[in-house]
Amino acid sequence: AKRRKAEERERLKLELIEQKRLLKEQARAQKAQERHALQLQRDAEKAAAREQKLRMRERMLQEKERARELEREARDAARAAERDAREVERCVADMVRRVEIRLYREARAEEAERVKTEARMERQMRADEKARREEAEAK
């Protein structure tokens, strides 16, 4: 039973390590997404700067439209990154909570088993002592 508990703990540790690895991968992906969003925003700012330099009306209108499109993409990408970050945080909290609950339950079960064993040993010691007394009285 102890070995099974130790194996279970080891399995939980490995699960946590794997979950941390997955979270790191998700964080890297999220950072890449945020960098992409920042790049899109920089592109939008460059497009806006070019727009000011160009005086021809048609060219200026085209640049304005492109800047709006890039800003929209940047906002969308930033919203997606925020949404992903919230989802990752929620998943992590759920996983941690589940593992903590499992470990807590295991600790309570182990404690209950220990108390039962101690009580059984105590009763056995009393019974042995009583038997010795009765045996001594019989002699």
pLDDT at 56 > cutoff 70 = no
The amino acid present at 21, given as its one-letter code, is: R
CA–CA gap between residue 49 and residue 67 (Å, rounded)? 9
User: What are the domain boundaries of the chain?
Assistant: 2-138
- Identify the pLDDT of residue 51: 73
- Identify the pLDDT of residue 131: 92
pLDDT at 55 > cutoff 80 = no
Q: What value does the mean pLDDT take over residues 7-30?
A: 95
pTM above 0.75, yes or no: no
Query: Which element (helix H / strand E) includes 73?
Result: helix 57-138
CA–CA gap between residue 13 and residue 109 (Å, rounded)? 19
- Identify the pLDDT of residue 47: 86
**Positive/negative CA dihedral, 69, 70, 72, 77:** positive
- Identify the pLDDT of residue 41: 95
pLDDT at 73 > cutoff 70 = yes
User: In 3D, which of 68, 36, 27 has the Cα closest to residue 51?
Assistant: 68
pLDDT at 60 > cutoff 70 = no
Grade residue 49 by pLDDT with cuts at 50, 70 and 90: confident
pLDDT at 39 > cutoff 90 = yes
CA distances from 95 to 4, 23, 25, 104, 126 (A): 22, 11, 16, 14, 47
Q: What value does the mean pLDDT take over residues 30-36?
A: 96
